[in-house]
Each structure stands twice: as structure tokens, then as C-alpha cells.
Amino acid sequence: MAVDDAVAKAFGLQGDAWQRHANPWSVYTRIPIPALLVVAVVLLWTFVNPRAFPPPRSMDHWASRSVFGEKYWAARKERPIPAGHRLAPWVLTGLNVAGVPFVVWGLVVLNPWMTAFGLALHMSGKLWSLDRMALLYDDMKLSAPGSLPPAG
């Protein structure tokens, strides 16, 4: 019971506070808190992640090449990319984005199949796009060995 009392005290649930907490608005507005905490942690990790690891030791990894392919893609106005790489990123980004409404709606209505479908669609677009970016990196390195896209 000591733990229960400590938790109640930490949340200010003493005396009349229990009455206020019994209000349905109090109950229903607390339900999404765990999900919001998860979102906060994910957003924090999204911000920290690109800064959390040292540079790769080599560019032999698919993941490393995909990131630098994205860098070439982002710098395509300053340094044109081969014509064969211009359409796929747009189509695959569309596939990636198309999954998001299914994920959101699946979570809202608590439908695991819709959520899984949306995640599959989203991640298919993302992973396929990364693969295309690795190929873009390979082609750009062949056309101008030793160069990386502009910093920034």
C-alpha cells in the first residue's frame, strides 16, 4: 500500500482531488498520456539520432550509401542527377506518405490490421526509396569519383 499512497500523493490525489479526478473529462483526457509519451520519445530520438553515431568507417554499407544518395538527391539543383533517378524518389515518397493515413486511422479506431497495412505501405516506400538512393549514390560516384554533394 505504501507504493499506492506514494503514487497518489505524487499526482496530488488527496482529499477532494479524488472527486475532481472522477470527472469524466479528467479520466478521458488522461487516457492518451501513455501514447503521447511514446510520441515524445520517438520525436526526441528522431532529433538525436543523426547526431548520436560517429561517421561510418567505410561506404561499403548499403545504409551509408543510401544516406549519401539522399544528399545527392537534396543537392540535385546544384549538381544534376542522372535522368534514370529523377522519378522514383517522387513515386516512392508518395507510397511512403500513402501509408500514413492508414496508420493514423488504424490507431484511432484501434484496428491492428489497418495499422499494420499502413505501416507496411509506409515502410515499403521508405525502404525502397533508401535502396534507390543507394543506387543513386553508386551512379554519382561512378560519374565523379571522390566527390560528395555540397555540405549543408
Q: How confident is the model at residue 151 (pLDDT cuts 50, 70, 90)?
A: low
Q: What mean pLDDT is reported for the chain?
A: 90
Q: How far apart are CA 25 and CA 144, in angstroms?
A: 62
pLDDT at 81: 92
Q: How far apart are CA 129 and CA 21, in angstroms?
A: 48
Under a CB-based contact definition with an 8 Å cutoff, are residues 83 and 146 in contact? Answer: no
Chain segment 65-108, per-residue pLDDT in tens: 999 999 999 999 988 999 999 999 999 999 999 999 999 999 99
Q: Please check the confidence at residue 152 and state whether its pLDDT lies above 60.
A: no
The whole-angstrom distance between residue 36's C-alpha and the CA centroid of its chain comes to 15
pLDDT at 76: 92
Amino acid at 23: N
For 39-63, what is the mean pLDDT? Answer: 94
Could you give the residue ranges of the DSSP H alpha helices within the chain?
A: 2-10, 17-21, 24-30, 33-52, 62-74, 88-108, 112-143
Q: How confident is the model at residue 150 (pLDDT cuts 50, 70, 90)?
A: low
**Which of the two residues, 120 and 148, has the higher pLDDT score?**
120
